[in-house]
Structure 1
Amino acid sequence: MKALFLIFHGFEAHNGISKKILYQVEGLKQNNIEVMLSYLLIDKNGFHKRMVNDRIIENYGKGLFAKIKKRICYDKLKSYILKEQINLLYVRHDLNANPFLVSFFKSIKDNNINIILEIPTYPYDNEFIHASWKDRLQNYIDKLYRNSLSKTLYRIVTFTNFSQIWGIQTINISNGIDFNAVKLKSNNKTNIDELNLIGVADIHAWHGYDRVIRGMINYYKYNRDIKVYFHIVGNGIEQVINDLKQITRDNNLSEFVKFYGPKSGLELDLLFDFADFGIASLARHRSNIVNIKTLKNREYAARGIPFIYSEIDSDFENMPYVLKAPANEESIDICRIIDFYSRLNMTAKEIRESIYHLSWKNQMKIIIETPINS
């Protein structure tokens, strides 16, 4: 089988989504799929380009016209797909259903090429309630055309338990892990005199980091023998991050809540070696999401650190190194985390080994076998 993995953005070294896409491509290759990756690139001179691997498929030029053109022009990409005799078009949805994309997908389907659309988060409309006008407009257009888009699809890949989305049968998988790319935590703490919490994310309101900070406000109202620190790593929504910093300053917690910005490679590895306990999503309820299999839960487990989350993730619900938080707006009970961590009797290696079945090779295998077995 010959596949094209299509995305509508570029890559950043520290970005978890960028890493995930590359891991998925590698997972397909490990299943003997010949796969090409098509993405957008802005070169050092400001030219917008559609790429397939290292090959330029189309140069859209510079400026505003180029920004528009790369979102609506797909003829050269279609020609490439037909010339290369692609059998499967795998698309990561960018909330960008529009008449131009619908037309492109329809022409691909008319050439007997299966289209599988991955929706990273579903449902997602509530994520736009407090978004910028530009993002809300994009979501509005997506709502108008998603039904037409769905008629061109073979299947939809989801990390939820939905059996159908937009009337299309789903392929249910978990977010996976490339174990070769995720370093195991090297430091196992034997005594607790301080506890270092870590949250690594492209920070949005649904991560609920404010719940942790409010929990630390309550915790430090008293004289505590165990010092608790919260290390927040990553960029994200500027207003959300500014609000977190404001809460921290207003409550004199700057000594205990640290903001690092985006980190990757050795810098990120060192932060994880230092960390004791992971903070995953604590407010998916703000987006009306109950069931989801997030990438972050798997990354924490692969690193070998215990963690807390509030959604339902069937891969982790009964894991002894997971602490569940209620899916509400209550402050996180820091004493509960300390007690849980102090009772945990698992090494980093044992935590990591518990999710070996969640490799990207195994998850992508589910996808490529579906067209054969359906």
Structure 2
Amino acid sequence: MKTLFLVFYGFQEYNGISKKIRYQADALRLCGADIRTCHYEVGNDGSRKWMIDEDVLADLGKGIPAKIKKRLSFAPILQYVRREGIQCVYIRSYHNANPFTIHFVRMLKKQGVRVLLEIPTYPYDHEYSSGMEKVQLYTDKLFRHAFCRYVDFIVTFSSDDRIFGRPTIRISNGIDFARIPLHSPRHGTSKELHLIGVAEIHFWHGFDRLLKGLGAYYGNNPEYKVYFHLIGKPSGRREEKNIATLIRRYCLQPFVILYGAKHGEELDALFNRADFAIGSLARHRSGIYNIKTLKNREYAARGFGFVYSETDDDFDRMPYTLKVPADESPVSIPALIEFFQHMTVTPREIRDSIRHLSWEEQMKKVYEQIVRIKK
């Protein structure tokens, strides 16, 4: 089945979301779909283009006119769908429901195209904080039910049966095991413990809870040292300032190392220096208590135990996961150390425990629904 995977933004090699989309597309291909990926790209010269894989579908030009075209006109994509005989369009939600995107999906349905909408995080109304983001969210809230009238299924990582009035396909975030190496610890843990957190840092990651816990721990002058390796770019000034302030307040400079964004072999090397991973500690701040995050699965695929606060049915009873309350309390570092020291499961056993969460297995659920949809 000819399928177009539509993304309203570009790809970045270090970005976990970009990698996830490529994994999903590859998995659909393995399931039998003739998959093409359509994405939006901004060139080094400021030119803006719609791309189909590595080929230019439409050059929108530069400057304000190009930005307007991107938001208002989807004619090049509709023409491509008609010309290539695309049978299904799989849209990754950008929370951009408006009269123009509604027209776009309505035209797809007129062409007899199956339409699926993936909503990566649901609910998402509390994830926005800046003024511009709130304007976009307000517009989306006005039009998203009308948009979804032209959607056959919503793909969700939540436990919801219906979203915005449409039936869901419930899956877990998956793993491409071939691209994620098993970590090889490089040092003993009798005198020190190395924690690692990898994310584009948002307020809902709750790393401040860990930093406050480290502050309390080092306030007692412990002999056993705990280090936190934080990898990723802050999503905004608020997150950057919050982390820097806590590091200074608790004099954590020797124990908290900030790396910025890393990927590939550099990232693998940093994982090999670590012993235990830090998942999301504050999803409750965005009103989310039940979610199946990609990061938890990537940690497990690398063979790491990890700590997190949300409900995740795939991991809540695993012997290598530590749950902390979904609140604002600091993470107890002594409790984390004790959990790690009593953990007997090996990295290989952790990885093998999630073999059923491969992207191929997860996207197979999606593909099976696609082929059942009647035009």
Q: TM-score range by the shorter chain?
A: over 0.9
Q: Which amino acid aligns with 1:62?
A: K
Q: 2:135 maps to which residue?
A: 137
Contact 1:325 1:332 in 2 (8 A): yes
Q: Which amino acid aligns with 1:287?
A: S
Segments of structure 1 that go 5 or more residues without pairing to the other structure are none
Q: SS at 2:182's partner residue?
A: coil
Report Cα offsets for 1:18-38 as digits up to 9, x if no partner.
Answer: 000000000011111100000
Give aligned-pair identity as a percent: 46
Report Cα offsets for 1:277-307 as digits up to 9, x if no partner.
Answer: 1100110110111110000000000111100
Q: Runs of 4 or more off by more than 4 Å in structure 1?
A: none
Q: 1:177 maps to which residue?
A: 175
Q: 1:210 maps to which residue?
A: 208
Following the alignment from structure 1 to structure 2, what is the Cα–Cα distance between the partners of residues 35 and 6?
11
**TM-superposed deviation, 1:45:** 2.2
TM-score normalised to structure 1 length: 0.98
Q: SS at 1:313's partner residue?
A: coil
Report Cα offsets for 1:93-126 as digits up to 9, x if no partner.
Answer: 0111111000000000111111000001010111
Following the alignment from structure 1 to structure 2, what is the Cα–Cα distance between the partners of residues 189 and 309?
24
The structure 2 residue matched to 1:186, chosen from 184, 187, 192, is 184
Following the alignment from structure 1 to structure 2, what is the Cα–Cα distance between the partners of residues 39 and 195?
41
Following the alignment from structure 1 to structure 2, what is the Cα–Cα distance between the partners of residues 80 and 287?
37
Following the alignment from structure 2 to structure 1, what is the Cα–Cα distance between the partners of residues 103 and 148?
12
Following the alignment from structure 2 to structure 1, what is the Cα–Cα distance between the partners of residues 184 and 49?
41
Contact 1:127 1:287 in 2 (8 A): yes
Contact 1:185 1:348 in 2 (8 A): yes
Contact 1:192 1:342 in 2 (8 A): no
Q: 1:84 maps to which residue?
A: 84
Q: Is 1:283 equivalent to 2:279 in the alignment? A: no
TM-score normalised to structure 2 length: 0.97
Following the alignment from structure 2 to structure 1, what is the Cα–Cα distance between the partners of residues 167 and 2?
22
**TM-superposed deviation, 1:55:** 1.8
Q: Is 1:114 equivalent to 2:120 in the alignment? A: no
Q: SS at 1:328's partner residue?
A: coil
Q: Quick check: 180-189 or 63-72, which moved more?
A: 180-189
**TM-superposed deviation, 1:68:** 1.7
Q: Is 1:361 equivalent to 2:372 in the alignment? A: no
Question: May I ask how many residue pairs the two structures share in their alignment?
Answer: 372
**TM-superposed deviation, 1:189:** 5.4
Following the alignment from structure 1 to structure 2, what is the Cα–Cα distance between the partners of residues 254 and 95?
38
Q: SS at 2:319's partner residue?
A: coil
Contact 1:116 1:157 in 2 (8 A): yes
Q: Which amino acid aligns with 2:180?
A: V
Contact 2:118 2:154 in 1 (8 A): yes
Contact 1:188 1:347 in 2 (8 A): no
Following the alignment from structure 2 to structure 1, what is the Cα–Cα distance between the partners of residues 188 and 225?
16
Q: Is 1:297 equivalent to 2:287 in the alignment? A: no
Q: Is 1:252 equivalent to 2:251 in the alignment? A: yes
Following the alignment from structure 1 to structure 2, what is the Cα–Cα distance between the partners of residues 134 and 80?
31
Q: 1:155 maps to which residue?
A: 153
Q: Is 1:235 equivalent to 2:271 in the alignment? A: no
Q: 1:195 maps to which residue?
A: 193
Following the alignment from structure 1 to structure 2, what is the Cα–Cα distance between the partners of residues 236 and 162?
30
Segments of structure 2 that go 5 or more residues without pairing to the other structure are none
Q: Is 1:270 equivalent to 2:269 in the alignment? A: yes
**TM-superposed deviation, 1:373:** 4.8
Q: SS at 1:106's partner residue?
A: helix
Q: SS at 1:127's partner residue?
A: coil
Q: 2:53 maps to which residue?
A: 53
**TM-superposed deviation, 1:223:** 2.2
Q: Which amino acid aligns with 2:215?
A: I
**TM-superposed deviation, 1:188:** 6.5
**TM-superposed deviation, 1:191:** 3.8
Q: Is 1:43 equivalent to 2:43 in the alignment? A: yes
Contact 2:3 2:88 in 1 (8 A): yes
Contact 1:188 1:348 in 2 (8 A): no
Contact 1:106 1:152 in 2 (8 A): yes
Q: SS at 1:304's partner residue?
A: coil
Contact 1:109 1:115 in 2 (8 A): yes
**TM-superposed deviation, 1:190:** 4.9
Report Cα offsets for 1:25-83 as digits up to 9, x if no partner.
Answer: 00011111100000011223221000111221111100111112112110111010011
Q: SS at 2:368's partner residue?
A: helix
